[in-house]
Amino acid sequence: EPEVTQTPSHQVTQMGQEVILRCVPISNHLYFYWYRQILGQKVEFLVSFYNNEISEKSEIFDDQFSVERPDGSNFTLKIRSTKLEDSAMYFCASSEGTGGASTEAFFGQGTRLTVV
C-alpha cells in the first residue's frame, strides 16, 4: 500500500541551526502539506504546496520556514534558524487533490524535532 515516508524520525539540533526535514509523498498525489504538533497540543497546518509553489500557508509559516520539491519525489521543509519553540512533531501529508474524495490526506509517521 502506498505511504508517505518521512526522514529522519527524530532530529536533535542546536538553537540557531538549520534543519531540513524530508518527505516522500505518495507518487500520484499532487498536493503536499506540512503540519506540526507541539507536544500535547493539536495538529496545526503549516503550508500546502501544489504545482511547485506554495498554495496556502498559515501564520506560523514565517520567513524562517521554506519548502521545496527538489526532484520528482522529495518534498522538504527547511527551518533556517531553529528556535526552542520549533520543537515539535512535524507531519508531512499528501493528497490527490483538494476537493471531494481527494480531500483525504495521507500522513507520514512524522519527524520529531528537538531544539536544544
Partner 1 sequence: AQSVTQPDIHITVSEGASLELRCNYSYGATPYLFWYVQSPGQGLQLLLKYFSGDTLVQGIKGFEAEFKRSQSSFNLRKPSVHWSDAAEYFCAVGPIYGGSQGNLIFGKGTKLSVKP
- Minimum distance from residue 92 beta carbon to partner 1 (Å): 9
Report the residue from 1, 39, 53, 59 that binds partner 1 according to the rule CB under 8 A.
59
- The distance of Cα 32 from the centroid of its chain, to the nearest Å, equals 8
**Inter-residue contact 60 to 46 (CB < 8 Å):** yes
- Minimum distance from residue 101 beta carbon to partner 1 (Å): 6
Query: Cα–Cα distance between 101 and 116 in angstroms, integer?
Result: 41
| Per-residue binding letters, 88-107, with partner 1 (x by CB under 8 A) | ---x---x--xxxx-xxxxx
Contact range with partner 1 by CB under 8 A, out of 21-29, 41-49, 64-72, 76-84: 41-49
Contacts with partner 1, residue ranges (CB under 8 A)? 6, 31, 33, 35, 41-48, 56-59, 91, 95, 98-101, 103-110, 112
